[in-house]
Amino acid sequence: MTALLEIEHLTHYFGGLCAVSDFNLSLETGELVGIIGPNGAGKTTIFNLITGIYKASKGSIRLEGSQLIGLKPNFITGMGIARTFQNIRLFKDLTVLDNVRIAFYGQAQVSMFAALAGLPSNRREEERISDRAMDLLAIFKLDGLAGEYSKNLPYGQQRRLEIARALATQPKLLLLDEPAAGMNPNEIIQLMEFIRWIRKDFNLTIILIEHQMRLVMGICERLKVLDFGATIAEGLPVEIQNNPRVLEAYLGQGVE
């Protein structure tokens, strides 16, 4: 059986700066892997490389065997990879419903002519997309706010909406970029439950970038630790916790 996602020797330079060097990851369907590391370690860059925002300098990224490097982001999303952002990037001046409906763009079956002429086929497709978007919002308990501008939502709900929007693209693989940023310990426990639940309900494979050790250690099955673009450790959460190189990266070297 081939892996869902296969990243080999992924390397990326920004000018002379090596942001990611020789990153390898093989992901089986259903896994939940965490990527941790200090600020600037290259975690988000890896997400940007997978989703096609940056074109990798070297290496390969394969989803179910097909090469992703060089493809446009919207195409990669269509193949089944969705993500959220470290700093929430909702469409602020649009309604909650529109935020989710936009994510159905790639799946909509409507010709340009039908859309411009407002044909019945366009109308049916609009109804279908709206209903599916509302169903999804209902799952995330946001249906009551569907008509609200997304910028007016409180922080926690914005985070939830971002995940709902990502799931609307029907992903197999979900990339979560610091979903717990700005949350208190109580909210983090809720978030853990939430991630477990969407993983099961939507049959997702998840890669999680996170700083909050409580969250990472709580739900990730496998961890990768990055520092200055290089992978310095990988393995089970327990192993990582006691790895001297990881402690050094996070806390600095001890004084002799």
Partner 1 sequence: MSAELKPQKTAKTAPAWWTAFRAGWERMMQKRWIMPALIALGFVLSFAIPQFGLLDAYVQLVLMYVGINIILTASLNLVNGYMGEFSVGHAGFMAVGAYISAVLTVMVLPPALSPWLFPLVVIAGGIGAGLVGLIVAVPSFRTRGDYLAIVTLALNMIVKSAIENIDVIGGPRGIPGVDKLTTLPWVFFWTVLTIWVIRNFIYSNYGRGVLAIREDEIASELMSVNTRQTKLMAFVISSFFAGVAGALFAHLLQFISPRVFDILKSTDVLIMVYLGGIGSLAGSILGATIYTVLLEVLRPLGMWRMVLMPLMLVLLMLFRPRGIMGLRELRWFIPGVDLMAITRWRKKKEVQHDSPAGN
Tell whether residue 116 is a contact of partner 1 (CB under 8 A): yes
Looking only at Cα atoms, what is the longest distance across the chain? 76
CA atoms lying within 13 Å on the CB side of residue 72: 3
Q: Encoding tokens for residue 222?
A: 């496998």
Tell whether residue 217 is a contact of partner 1 (CB under 8 A): no
Restricted to residues 154-213, the positions that interact with partner 1 (CB under 8 A) are 165-166, 168-169
Residue-wise DSSP of 53-80 = SS--SEEEEEETTEE-TT--HHHHHHHT
Piece of the chain touching partner 1 by CB under 8 A; list 103-111, 188-196, 216-224, 244-252: 103-111
- Out of 60, 74, 152, 190, the only residue in the binding site for partner 1 (CB under 8 A) is 74
Piece of the chain touching partner 1 by CB under 8 A; list 33-41, 61-69, 120-128, 205-213: 120-128
Closer residue to partner 1 (CB): 101 or 222: 101
For the CB of residue 14, give the shortest distance to partner 1 in the complex, in Å.
Answer: 17
Q: Roughly what angle, to the nearest 10 degrees, separates helices 155-168 and 185-201?
A: 20
For 179-201, letters b (16+ CB in 10 Å) and e give: bbeebeeeebeebbebbeebbee
Tell whether residue 245 is a contact of partner 1 (CB under 8 A): no
Tell whether residue 139 is a contact of partner 1 (CB under 8 A): no
Tell whether residue 134 is a contact of partner 1 (CB under 8 A): yes
Contact 234, 222 (CB under 8 A): yes
Indicate the SS3 state at residue 25: strand
Tell whether residue 105 is a contact of partner 1 (CB under 8 A): yes
- Contact residues for partner 1, defined by CB under 8 A: 51, 53, 72-74, 77-78, 82-83, 85, 89-94, 97-98, 101-108, 110, 112, 115-118, 122-123, 125-127, 129-131, 134-135, 138, 143, 146-147, 165-166, 168-169
